[in-house]
Structure formats: C-alpha cells, structure tokens
Amino acid sequence: MAYDLIVKNGTVFDGTGAPRFRADVAIADGRITEVGHVKDTARRTIDASDLIVAPGFFDPHTHYDAQMCWDPLITCSSWHGVTSIVMGNCGVGIAPCRPQDREVATWDLVNVEGIPFDVLNRGITWDWQSFPEFMDAAQRRRSALNLGFLAPLTPFRHMVMGEESMERAATADERGRIKALLKEAVAAGAVGFSLTRVRQHIGYQGRPLACRLADRDELAAYANALRELGKGTIEIALNQDLALVTDEEAELLDFMLTQSGRPVTWLGLAPTSGRGDAHIETLEKMGPLMARGGIPQVIAYPSEPQFSMRNPFLLASIQCWQQVFNQPPEAQKRIYGDPAFRNAFREALKTPQIFAGRWDRVRIDEVSDPALKPIEGRMVSEVAQQRGADPLDTFLDLAIEDDLRIRYAVANRGEDRLAALIKDPRTLVGQADGGAHVDMICMAGYPTHMIGRWVRQRQLMTLEEGIRRITSQPADLFGFPERGRIAKGSAADIAIFDYDRIGCAPRPESRHDLPGGGLRLVTTSQGVEYTIVNGEVLYEHGKHTGALPGQVLRSRRLD
C-alpha cells in the first residue's frame, strides 16, 4: 500500500521505556500503520538516519487557555517537540463565562497566571459561554498542537454564584448546579477538573480565587462527578511551601483520591531556600498517597523568575502584599513607601514560603532610570550595603525610584537539588506553566532541556526512561494511551531529533509579540529536526510548514 508518510532508518524509542531499536515508521490517515522494515512507498519520506524517532512530547501543565485565541502555533511549546498539551490548570480559566463575568475572569488570569490585562483584553475572542462551547471554539479555530482541557473550578463557581463565589462556600442548590456543569464539561471531553488551595492564588480585586472557598461538601460533590462518569483526572495546587506537605494538605489529597476514585496530580515538589532536603523527606512521606494515584508535579527547568513591582506575583502569598494587586501605580508606590507595610513584610519573612527574602539572590535585572543603570546585574544585598541601608528597604526604595519599572530576578542555585525529584519515576515532570507568567519565566522548553541536560549531559537516567517521562507517562495519566507511543494504531505524533544537539536555550529572550506589543519571555530549541502532529509535518528543521493539524483531545472511559 502507499502511505502518507514514512520515516526511514531512525532509531526508534517507543515511549514505554522499552529498549531502542532501528526501524521505519509508516503513517496513514493520521495513525501509525507499521513499525519495522517498510517496503511500500509514501507521498513523502523522511530520512531519519542518525536521528532519534520518539513520540511527540506531552506537556501536562500549561496555561494557553487565552493564548490559543491569537497564537495557533502555541509557541513556544511547539518549538520543543511538544505535540499535545493540557491547559486549564490551577483552577483558573476563561470558561464557562457569561458576558457580565468576563472582566472577573480576565483579572483572575492576570493575578494568578501573570498575563497582562491589556494583552488578554485585546486577544481573547470570547466566542463561547459554556465549557463545551469553549472546546468546540478551539476545534474550529485550529491549532498546531493537540489540546486537552481541564475544567477549572473557579469560572464554574462564578457562573453559578456570581460575585459571591469570591466570598463563601456554595449552598446545596448551587453545589448541585456547579456539579452538573462540571459533569457536562467532562462528559463533553474535558480531561477532568482543577483547583487550587494556595494563598498566593488571588483573583479579582485581590480577593481569594473563587475555587479556594469551596468547602469539603463541594469538593466531595465535584470529585463524585468523576467517579460517576468513570473518567477524568483532578489537578490541584495543594501545598503552600513546595518543599513541604502539611498533614492537613495530605489529608485533602487523600480525601480527593477517595471521593473521586480517579488520579489526582498535585503541585508540587521542589527544593526551597532554608529547607535543606525537606523536599526529599516529603517525597517519602507522600509515598502511600502516590501509590494510590496522587502524583506530584516537579519542574525540570530550573529557571530564574523575573518579576516587576507592578505585578509582583512571587510575593502574592504574603498577606500584606495582597493589597498591592490591581492598584494604579501611584497607589502601589504609596503602599511600598508605608512604614507599616514594610514592617509587616519584614515580619512575614521570618516564616518564608515561596519568596524567602534572600536578598543576596535577588538580582536587579533591568532599570529604566539612567541614573540607576550602574546597579543593573547586581544583587539587592550589594546595593543595600553600598547605601548603608537595610536590604528590604532598598528593594522597595529602588522600585519607587524607578517609578515601578524596575525588574528583579531571583537567581537559581539549586539544579543539583532537583535531580532526585526528576529521577524518581513516581513524579510527573513538567510543571512548566507554558503561556503563564509571560514576563517572569519561560519553562515551556523543559522537554528539550530534560533530554539535553538531564539525560545527555548529567546522565541522570537512560534516554529510554527520559523519553517515557515526557511521553507515555503524562499521556496515560490524562487518559490518552494512543498518544505518547510509537506503535501500530497509535496517533502519529512524533518528534525527530539529533541527540547530540537537542537542548533548550540557557536563558530566555524578550519578545514584544503579544497582542498590543506586550512583552513575553521565550526559550528557543535546538536539535529538533521534525515535529509531526497527527501524521502531518508541523516543523521541519525549525521552520513551520504552514500546517495546523492539532485536534481537541476529548476524554473517554477506558474500561
């Protein structure tokens, strides 16, 4: 028979962790139809001699809910061999949404996911109200990648409860209506639902993100919806300190596993300043819950997050900072200069969480005032010492002096401490947040970093295992066993790369390519020679072919 495409002479990694083998891969009608020695012809043949032929990478944690409206290529994830993504994480999103709730939903994304309001206001198309309509709109719009959708709990509570969703738990009647909407979304193909309990996640007008106010009766009802449907995964931003899980947080994970009977992936595990090896101890503490399907997410790309003083996301978990958000610049400067605010901030840093107040690691990355240019690239602690001032006061004084245009970065010194988490096969690699925190970080290149840095350079695991961790493992967790594999009958999602060259740029670059010229950070890739999605070549030697072959991934029972 004649095929649509044959990939010849490649070294094939099937995504399951099985040993590599030499083979051809034949593709027809978007599916892999033969793996082995293929004698027949095809409309196109790719010679993969000296290249690795792997399943396309599956990114389980993104926030492209808005970006897909203006960027069908889903950059920069698609540059890194990614062929499928899951969005709608952390309980925040833009569907379902009535017209009167659009401003609230938009500000929720601004505050939780660090996407500027003007960018969202210009870019979101709003061609939906219900969640099934949201998924249908994505399918009509067309995309480079396969799109999986978690149903984020916050907009579902907004839909039923309005503004009171940010003030209280749902009544029994409201709870039933929210459950029905979630059940409708998952029945229509959403891959589950998401929520957050993290104090850092604040919403409209600096109020708690609505899903944080869901009580146990609500959570039981929503988890039961998945049990009744027999499908779906729950994602929860669980712990306030990424190195620790409290007994209360562990009990909540146990509750969600029990009530749903479904997998629950949680955020997250990472080393944090001053905690030593607490993240390793937490991994062992959570072992019994992990064995039941409570899967922690870990990052593979140890970035250096940047932040501005107009939207200081890294500080949002500190109570006194929550008054800063969604305020005009002059009001923010008054707060930063207030001695009472500074004292409250100083007191909060005695028990640090996400932001530890290590001023020797807070770098002044960029300033606008020419008089401050000499301090660019220096640590806040150095500048404070030079001024004979307290570092915390210096941090805030510099922000005021530069009219809040200053940008800080938190220097990363902990790559080695990540290794044990990445290597552990019980964790889910990929807490990359593609599409979010656009002017702070860009970790969307984690798949090429995973292979280039952790597998090739650090030799943390075999290439077979490294590929499994970013292909079949996340695909299976979200219920797509036909993705993340090279096997007869599987979807033809394939990444073809040069193992000696694959990698991610060590530092992000700035681009003003968001709607309205908004700034974002991106990371480029190297060594990815071809990316194939549903049997169509999407990228060839780093160039987009013009194809948009992605599909909306819809959940189903796998009995």
**67 plus 89 within the same structural domain:** yes
115-129: average pLDDT: 96
Report helix, strand or coil for 11: strand
> For residue 390, what are its two tokens?
């307290």
Report yes or no: 504 and 443 within 8 Å, Cβ to Cβ: no
Judgement on whether residues 391 and 276 belong to the same structural domain of the protein: no
pLDDT at residue 557 in the model = 87
Residue closest to 130 by CA, chosen among 51, 190, 83, 207 = 190
Asked if residue 326 and residue 235 are part of one domain, the reply reads no
- Tens digits of residue pLDDT in 189-235: 999 999 999 988 888 988 999 999 999 999 999 999 999 999 999 99
What average pLDDT does range 313-319 have in this prediction? Answer: 82
Are 496 and 51 spatial neighbours (Cβ–Cβ below 8 Å)? yes
Residue type, 244: L
Q: What is the DSSP letter of 463?
A: H
Position 315 scores a pLDDT of 87
Per-residue confidence at 37, pLDDT binned at 50, 70, 90?
Answer: very high
Decide: 538 and 549 in contact? Cβ < 8 Å: yes
Judge if 151 and 262 occupy the same domain. yes
Place of tokens 């740029």: 505
414 confidence band (pLDDT: 50, 70, 90): low
Residues 6 or more apart from 374 whose CB is under 8 A from it? Answer: none
Instruction: Judge whether residue 559 has pLDDT over 80.
Output: no
- Are 132 and 260 in the same domain? yes
* pLDDT tens by residue, 498-525: 999 999 998 888 899 999 999 999 999 9
The C-alpha atoms of residue 20 and residue 2 are separated, in whole angstroms, by 26
What is the pLDDT averaged over residues 114-119?
92
Q: Which helix (H) or strand (E) holds 333?
A: helix 329-337
The domain in which residue 474 lies consists of 1-55+446-502+525-541
Going by pLDDT thresholds of 50, 70 and 90, the confidence category of residue 477 is very high
Residues ≥6 apart with Cβ < 8 Å to 382: none
Residues 389 and 299 in one domain: no
Same domain, 93 and 194: yes
pLDDT > 90 in the chain, percent? 84
**What domain count does the chain have?**
3
- Report CA-CA distances (Å) from 465 to 94, 210, 282, 310, 313: 36, 39, 23, 42, 34
Question: In this structure, what token pair is assigned to residue 6?
Answer: 């044959």
Are 41 and 68 contained in the same domain? no
* 374 has a pLDDT exceeding 90: yes
pLDDT at 536 over 80: yes
Is the pLDDT assigned to residue 352 strictly greater than 80? no
Are residue 459 and residue 493 in the same domain, yes or no? yes
pLDDT for res 282 = 95
So what's the pLDDT on residue 311? Answer: 81
Confidence bin at 551 (pLDDT 50/70/90): very high
d(CA 395, CA 182): 44
How much is the mean pLDDT over the chain? Answer: 94
When mean pLDDT is compared across 167-171, 188-192, 317-321, 549-553, the lowest value belongs to: 317-321
Q: Domain ends where: 426, 444, 462?
A: 444
513 domain-assigned: no
Single-letter amino acid, residue 155 = P
Supply 22's token pair. 């030499």
Beta bridge partner(s), residue 21: 12
Mutual angle of helices 247-260 and 216-229, in 10-degree steps: 40
Give a yes or no: residue 509 inside a domain: no
Give domain status of residue 512, yes or no. no
Is pLDDT of 56 > 70?
yes
Q: Which residue has the tokens 């799109």?
A: 147
User: Strands of 233-237's sheet, edge to edge?
Assistant: 151-152, 192-196, 233-237, 264-267, 294-298, 428-429
* Residues 139 and 245 both lie in one domain: yes
pLDDT at residue 357 greater than cutoff 90: no
- Rounded to two decimals, what is the model's pTM? 0.90
Q: What is the DSSP letter of 202?
A: B
What pLDDT shows up at residue 1?
67
Residue 144 and residue 254 in one domain: yes
